[in-house]
């Protein structure tokens, strides 16, 4: 961090980019030292380091669950989750993270209550019963927009498909953009390679349609993130047609896939054409 500070021109105002780099390092230090935390203050002489618990809280990492896609490639509407203490030691199939409760038409909601409806989180702004979101008189969207850094330089719009699916977990924190607006950026928790179910047999095409397997083990359904993704094949040379390269690839088969900057790929390199010619029976 000190080497970075020395690079800053103490006789000119640091840029937002400079601040972000310093804050990233301070965030690491605050996790190491705990206590009251570490903060930054600027003046004509440069940058001073000081203690503040408020800044530590603002910089602390949070875990969020993905709900829907937001405006902008690689940006998602998410809501915070916590470790579920009750489920921590259970060995049955239960979620270790506590999600928001689903909206219920029989519940008397008070101001400040949070729920989830149609994979969107809401906060109650007026006490009521049986007023379903997104009724703006009683509910306000509580989702946080988070940029997935793995999609910070996405492919062209025509090829773009979201890299994250419903219920995915992402670790995120606040930063300022180049105009001073607070944003959230984060990285997904879990492996880059994930499983999907084919929606069709291998076609005379360089891609195949699939549904991602969600964190709860189910296939993504219509309207959910991860439904009907187009998976392309890496060929040993040129472009692979799936019916030649993988003629036995059938409908509803589990395959391994990964996303690179908004484009899905089959996790194994495939042959460009048929490996052998077999006689018809």
- pLDDT of 234 > 80? The answer is no
The percent of residues in the chain predicted with pLDDT above 90, rounded, is 58
Is 32 found in the same domain as 55?
A: yes
Is 150 found in the same domain as 240?
A: no
Terminal C-alpha separation, the chain:
70
Is 168 found in the same domain as 211?
A: no
Within a 10 A sphere around the Cβ of 100, how many other Cβ atoms? 19
Whether residue 272 is contained in a domain is answered as no
Which has the higher per-residue pLDDT, 183 or 270?
183
The pLDDT value given to residue 42? 47
Question: 230: which strand partners?
Answer: 209
CATH number at residue 251: 2.40.50
Is 144 found in the same domain as 79?
A: yes
Question: Could you give the number of structural domains in the chain?
Answer: 3
Whether residue 244 is contained in a domain is answered as yes
Question: 257: which strand partners?
Answer: 194, 266
Whether residue 273 is contained in a domain is answered as no
Contact 173, 61 (CB under 8 A): yes
22: closest CA among 5, 6, 41? 5
Confidence of residue 157 (pLDDT cuts 50, 70, 90): confident
Contact 215, 194 (CB under 8 A): no
Confidence of residue 36 (pLDDT cuts 50, 70, 90): very low
The pLDDT value given to residue 263? 93
Is 146 found in the same domain as 71?
A: yes
Whether residue 28 is contained in a domain is answered as yes
Which has the higher per-residue pLDDT, 11 or 223?
223
The DSSP letter of residue 150 is G
Cα–Cα distance, 219 to 252 (Å, whole number): 10
Is 213 found in the same domain as 168?
A: no
For 57, the token pair is 């809280």
Whether residue 275 is contained in a domain is answered as no
Residue where one domain finishes, among candidates 59, 80, 106: 59
- Global model pTM greater than 0.75: no
For 72, the token pair is 């902008």
Is 144 found in the same domain as 215?
A: no
CATH number at residue 134: 2.10.10.20
Span 184-213, pLDDT tens digits: 999 999 889 999 999 999 888 888 999 999
State which residues form the domain around 156: 63-88+95-172
Is 219 found in the same domain as 131?
A: no
Which residue in this structure is represented by tokens 């994250």?
Answer: 164
36: Cβ contacts below 8 Å, ≥ 6 apart: 51, 52, 53, 56
Is 219 found in the same domain as 157?
A: no
Backbone angles phi, psi at 150, to 5 degrees: -70, -10
Is 140 found in the same domain as 78?
A: yes
The pLDDT value given to residue 99? 84
The pLDDT value given to residue 121? 93
- pLDDT of 115 > 60? The answer is yes
The pLDDT value given to residue 10? 44
Is 166 found in the same domain as 70?
A: yes
Parallel, antiparallel or unpaired: strands 263-266 and 229-232: parallel
Question: 9: which strand partners?
Answer: none
Is 55 found in the same domain as 69?
A: no
The pLDDT value given to residue 127? 96
Span 41-98, pLDDT tens digits: 544 445 444 444 444 444 568 999 999 999 999 999 999 998 999 999 998 889 999 8
The average pLDDT across 104-129 equals 94
């Amino acid at each position: 961090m000190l080497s970075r500070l020395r690079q800053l021109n103490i006789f000119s105002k640091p840029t937002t980019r400079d601040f972000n780099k310093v804050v990233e390092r301070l965030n690491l230090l605050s996790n190491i030292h705990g206590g009251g935390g570490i903060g930054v203050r600027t003046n004509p002489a440069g940058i001073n380091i000081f203690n503040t618990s408020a800044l530590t809280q603002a910089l602390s990492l949070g875990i969020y669950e993905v709900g829907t896609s937001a405006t902008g490639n690689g940006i998602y509407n998410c809501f915070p989750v916590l470790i579920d203490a009750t489920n921590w030691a259970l060995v049955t199939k239960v979620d270790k993270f506590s999600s928001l409760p689903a909206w219920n038409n029989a519940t008397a909601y008070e101001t400040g209550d949070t729920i989830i409806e149609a994979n969107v989180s809401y906060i109650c702004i007026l006490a009521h019963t049986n007023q379903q979101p997104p009724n703006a008189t009683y509910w306000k969207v509580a989702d946080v927009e988070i940029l997935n850094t793995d999609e910070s330089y996405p492919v062209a719009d025509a090829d773009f498909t979201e890299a994250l699916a419903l219920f995915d977990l992402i670790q995120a924190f606040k930063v300022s953009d180049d105009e001073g607006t607070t944003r959230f950026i984060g990285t997904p928790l879990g492996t880059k390679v994930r499983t999907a179910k084919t929606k069709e047999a291998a076609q005379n095409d360089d891609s195949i349609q699939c549904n991602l397997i969600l964190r709860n083990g189910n296939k993504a359904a219509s309207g959910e993130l991860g439904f009907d993704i187009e998976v392309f094949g890496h060929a040993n040379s040129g472009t692979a047609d799936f019916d030649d390269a993988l003629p036995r690839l059938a409908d509803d088969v589990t395959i391994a896939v990964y996303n690179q900057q908004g484009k899905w790929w089959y996790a194994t390199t495939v042959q460009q054409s048929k490996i052998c010619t077999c006689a018809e029976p």
